Every structure is written in structure tokens, then in C-alpha cells.
Amino acid sequence: MSIWIAVLMITGTIGLYVTGRFIYQRIPHPLTLPLVTSTFLLLSLLLLFDIPYETYMLGGQWIEILLGPAVVALAYPLFNQWHLLKQYFYPLSMGMVTGALVGIFSGYFLARLAGVDETVLFSIVPKSVTTPVAMDVAATLGGNESLAAIFVMIAGLGGVMIAQYTFRLFNIQSFIGRGIGTGTASHAIGTAKALENNEIEGAVSSIAMTVSAVIVAFFAPLIIALFH
Amino acid sequence: MITVADGLRICLQIAGLYGLYLTGVWIQTTFSLLIPGSIIGMLILLGLFATNIVKTAWVAQGVSLLLRHMPLLFLPVMAGAVTLGHVFQGSGAWLFIIVLVSTVLVMVVSGKITDVLIQRRETS
């Protein structure tokens, strides 16, 4: 019985994802990204048919299992952009390291100021980095993986929607500076947008998204251990 | 069009990436590190590329499939949100604002620092 539930959940999830891609092709906007629409559809269906999370995960776990290899796969785009990282090593690394630390500290202190409980606090800390890494970091700190994934999505979508105004307001003109800004703050969603703007901006953003994920994975546990 | 041979190759490549992931997790647990095993696996693959032990072409198709459809892989995690309704009641709007403010700070600081350093270098 449970194998049929698993198959149903897997095909259903893929079906929703395909639907999400179709919607995005018709109406391209950050808020119609497949991640947003298919998540919305999935949550609606689970609530509508009263399907418990555990039942869904009988199938869902087989999709989620691919997140680990997907993070490993990030070595590929990073290696392809290695020449850029070498050429601009100092400006890029300074931007990425400072940005990653600002993300950890500002998330942590703002959330503490708001007085949220610890699970939420630790799920906010890694919100600037790509979902699978943020989930792992949140789990290490004692946060909640799904909550972390939601914060990551907000950081991605919010960042993409305000990026152009932010860069204009703070007079960030170079494609490289913009790429570092989007990649460090808004991970893969930012990188996809940066790629649409300009090839260099996209390449730099993809470097920033992977390198800042490594930096946050290294420093978040240390910083929390020191300050919490 | 994807042929059977392509499909097999992609499966093997993803299996290889999964093997590196498991290696990373093994290293993490054996040495009780706080860095996620997935990141360790990623750094191993980067090292293998850099030393030319693994050619990028060997994993190219599997990588592109995984990265292109990453949003699909997030859906099961997002489904976990059905159990989290209570978190967003009340203080939910605050969480939203905190994440946005922090995101802008990251974007401005990292972007501006890189921008200034690049321009200084190009004018000197």
C-alpha cells in the first residue's frame, strides 16, 4: 500500500512542478517562479485533502534525497568560473565574506530583538544561502529545516524584487559588484535573475552563491556558539 | 531527445555525486565537524576537478539536470510548512520584515565593498 502512496506523491510533486514551470512560461515574474506556485499548490492540496506531512513524505523523501548530490554539483559551476574568482580574488572575497557575516549577524540580532523563539531564530540565521545548505545549517544550530527553507525563499524573492532599486540607491554600478550582491543575499533565485541581466553579473553571482554558502556553513555554528 | 544511453549516464553521474555526498557526511560524522557533509562533498569534488582527477565532462549532464530542476527538489521541504502555521501567526509579519531587512543589508554591504574595491583597482 505505502509504495503506491509513495509513487502517487512523487508523480504528484513532479506534476505540480511541471505545472509551475508552465505558469512561469506564460507569466514570468519573481512571484510566479515554479518554486512559489508549485509550493502554493502543494500546500493547498495537502491541506484540502487533509494529507498528513508524514504520508506525503513516503514519496517526498525520495525527491528530497537528491538535495545532497545537488549541493555537491555546485562544484561544477564554481570550477567553471574559477578564472574570474582568481582574477578578482580580493574584491570578490572581501564582498562575500563581509556579506555572509552581515547576513548571519543581522538575522540573529534582528530576530532576537523581535523576541522570536529559538527554533525560529536558528532558522533565520542561514537564510541568505541556498536552500539545501541553509537546511543543514539550521538543523546543526537547532532550527527547523522547513522554516529555514521558507526564509530562504523570502530572501531570494525579496532580494530579486528590490535588487535594482537597492543598486541604484547605493550607487553600485559594476556588474561584478551587483553579481556579488545578488548571489550573496539571494542565492540561486538571485543568480537566475543576474544571468538574465548580464553574463558577467550571472557568473559572479553563481560564484557568490556557492562561496557564501561555504562561508555561512563554516561560521554560523561558531558565531552562534560565541554569541548565544 | 534523451536516449537510453543518456539516461543511464545521467543516473551514473548522479550516483557518483551521491557517493561524494555520502563521503562528505561520513567525514562530518567521523570527525564530528559542524560543516554539513554536502558542503564537504562539494569541496572534495572541487578538489578533484582542480587536480584533474575528475574531468568536468564526466558529470556534466547529471549536474545540469540536478541544478536546472533544483526547485523540484525543494518541494518536499516546503511541504513541511503545513506543520508550521502557528509560527507565522502573530509575529509572522515581523519575521518577513526581518528577513527582508537582513537581505538588503547583505546585498548592499557585499555589493558595495566589491564595487568600491573593483573601481579602486581599475583607476589605480
Residues A114-143 pLDDT 10s: 989 999 999 999 999 999 999 999 999 999
pLDDT in tens, A194-219: 999 999 999 999 999 999 999 999 99
For residue A205, the model assigns a pLDDT of 97
User: Does residue B10 fall inside a structural domain?
Assistant: yes
- Same-domain status, B50 and B92: no
A102, B110 contact by CB (below 8 A): yes
- Same-domain status, B38 and B99: no
How many angstroms separate the CA atoms of B48 and B43, rounded? 9
Q: Which domain holds residue B34?
A: 1-71
A207, A85 contact by CB (below 8 A): yes
For residue B83, the model assigns a pLDDT of 85
- Distance from A129 to chain B by nearest Cα, in Å? 11
Question: Within 13 Å, how many C-alpha atoms sit on residue A34's CB side?
Answer: 20
Chain A CB contacts of B91 under 8 Å are: 114, 116
A149 C-beta neighbours (distance < 10 Å), count: 26
How many angstroms separate the CA atoms of A221 and A216, rounded? 8
Is the pLDDT at A50 greater than 90? The verdict is yes
Is the pLDDT at A161 greater than 90? The verdict is yes
Helix (H, G, I), strand (E, B) or coil at A172: coil
For residue B123, the model assigns a pLDDT of 78
Chain A CB contacts of B46 under 8 Å are: 75, 78-79
**Which residue ranges in chain B fall short of pLDDT 50?**
none
- Same-domain status, B54 and B101: no
- Same-domain status, B60 and B10: yes
B79, A42 contact by CB (below 8 A): yes
Average pLDDT, chain A: 95
For residue A79, the model assigns a pLDDT of 97
Q: Could A150 and B39 be called an inter-chain contact, meaning their C-beta atoms sit closer than 8 Å?
A: no
- Same-domain status, B5 and B61: yes
Chain A CB contacts of B83 under 8 Å are: 53, 146
User: Does residue B2 fall inside a structural domain?
Assistant: yes
User: Does residue B79 fall inside a structural domain?
Assistant: no
Q: Could B104 and A166 be called an inter-chain contact, meaning their C-beta atoms sit closer than 8 Å?
A: yes
The chain B residue lying nearest A141, using CA atoms, is B34
How many angstroms separate the CA atoms of B85 and B67, rounded? 30
In chain A, % of residues over pLDDT 70: 100
ipTM: 0.94
For residue B7, the model assigns a pLDDT of 92
- Distance from B8 to chain A by nearest Cα, in Å? 17
- Overall number of domains in chain B: 2
The chain A residue lying nearest B38, using CA atoms, is A68
